[in-house]
Amino acid sequence: MEKTYSLTAHYDEFQEVKYVSKYQSGTLPNGFTLQLGTGTKKRRGGLPRWSRREVCLLSGLVFAAGLCVILTCMLVLKYLAAEGDSYCLEGCQEKKAFLRASRFLSANMDATIDPCQDFYSFACGGWLRRHGIPEDKLVYGTIGAIAEQNEAKLQALLSRPVRRRAPASAERKVKEFFRSCLDRAEIDRLGPRPMLEVIGECGGWDAPPGRGDLNELLYKTQGVYSAAVLFSLTVSLDERNTSRYVIRVRAPCP
């Protein structure tokens, strides 16, 4: 029976495997027959399978290409917007403002009414249909509506958390003052004491005529507490010359 070389053979015999290429018959000098597998492994059919590294590289390439496309579109849109603004002729902003004002006026008009018969309803009929007078007000108009919108926006801004907490921060002071006005528990706890202190600083309820300085009293009431006492002092444009301001002294409003 012919002997077959095995990997469990003696070490010296195993070393002769690397010299098998010298022999055409595949027979070793010691008489053993070396059987080597010469068959090749068949490839699987279809597309080659990608490694995980190749998949990651391809995903990164696709993401980078998409990001470049988005940035390019943003730059193109920005360039087109800049070109549109550059073509705006002199007085373009004024024309836009006039266009908004004309749209606002036309929306508040009532074209179904003859202006020769009732000009007020013709000019304000659209506004009157959409806005009724609130129950807590005697008069109501566009100025009042704008004031309510501004108050709502201010309240939303003041209700946000404080971002600048420095001691001298104007934002912190304004928001803390606003929140102190809404602290009903603290207001009920203090009672009338803060108001009585202010009245005492101004001379009290029954101050004699010759007591105190009138100038100091006016300074405290109008300068410190912003209350119009005896007269009101305001600064506004001069109707006769709008290039300057004038100081107006009037009787205080009740």
Indicate whether 19 belongs to any domain.
yes
Above 80 in pLDDT, residue 176? yes
pLDDT in tens, 37-68: 444 444 555 556 778 888 888 888 888 888 99
Phi and psi torsions of 235, nearest 5°: -125, 130
Look at residue 13 in the predicted model and tell me its pLDDT.
47
Look at residue 27 in the predicted model and tell me its pLDDT.
56
Angle subtended at Cα 136 by Cα 133 and Cα 139, rounded to the nearest 5 degrees: 45
Q: Out of 9-23, 65-79, 204-218, give the one with best mean pLDDT.
A: 65-79
Distance CA 50, CA 58 (A): 10
Indicate whether 207 belongs to any domain.
no
Are 33 and 13 in contact by the 8 Å Cβ rule? The answer is no
DSSP label of 220: I
Are 245 and 235 in contact by the 8 Å Cβ rule? The answer is yes
Q: Flag whether the pTM goes above 0.75.
A: no
- Give the chain's domain count: 1
Distance CA 61, CA 72 (A): 17
Indicate whether 135 belongs to any domain.
no
Residue type, 47: L
Indicate whether 248 belongs to any domain.
no
Residue with tokens 């595949």: 26
Mean per-residue pLDDT, 222-235 = 82
pLDDT in tens, 134-155: 888 888 888 888 898 999 999 9
Indicate whether 104 belongs to any domain.
no
Distance CA 234, CA 211 (A): 28
Indicate whether 2 belongs to any domain.
yes
Mean per-residue pLDDT, 151-165 = 90
Indicate whether 138 belongs to any domain.
no
Mean per-residue pLDDT, 29-41 = 52
Question: Looking at per-residue confidence, does 142 or 119 come out higher?
Answer: 119
Distance CA 47, CA 98 (A): 67
Indicate whether 177 belongs to any domain.
no
Question: Looking at per-residue confidence, does 140 or 93 come out higher?
Answer: 140
Look at residue 188 in the predicted model and tell me its pLDDT.
92
Above 60 in pLDDT, residue 24? no
